[in-house]
Amino acid sequence: MSKIIYNVTVNVDESIHEEWLDWIKKHIPEVLATGKFEGATFSKILVDEEMEGHTYSIQYKSYSRAALEAYYKDDAERLRTEGLKKFADKMLAFRTELEVIDQYAVNFT
């Protein structure tokens, strides 16, 4: 059974940046509390962009395809709506799914 990473990329306008950072750091645990993901990684994207503002990636590691589908069905709309209501046209988000093919790590022993 392959793992799926649910990736949310968000560009945030400078005018709401600090408020959004405070909010997202509370939002990520709410997504994890759905029980559909085993963890999340929150990263800033480090590229020079034509777009203004700051861009971030939140990668949620789902337990399975079925868990991700259950998240879409049971939780996604409610959790997305909160951010849209709060930040409306000051942020732009898009979502992608990534299938984990293999994982590698450096052994430090």
Check residue 105 and give its pLDDT.
84
Identify each DSSP E strand in the chain by its residue range.
Answer: 4-12, 37-44, 54-62, 91-99
- Per-residue model confidence as pLDDT tens digits over 6-22: 999 999 999 999 999 99
Q: What is the pTM of this model?
A: 0.88
The pLDDT of 21-50, averaged and rounded, is: 93
Query: What domains are there in the chain, each with its CATH number?
Result: 4-99 (3.30.70.100)
Band of the pLDDT at 94, cuts 50, 70, 90?
Answer: very high
The pLDDT of 12-37, averaged and rounded, is: 96
How far apart (Å, rounded) are the C-alpha atoms in residues 38 and 5? 10
- Per-residue model confidence as pLDDT tens digits over 96-109: 999 988 888 887 66
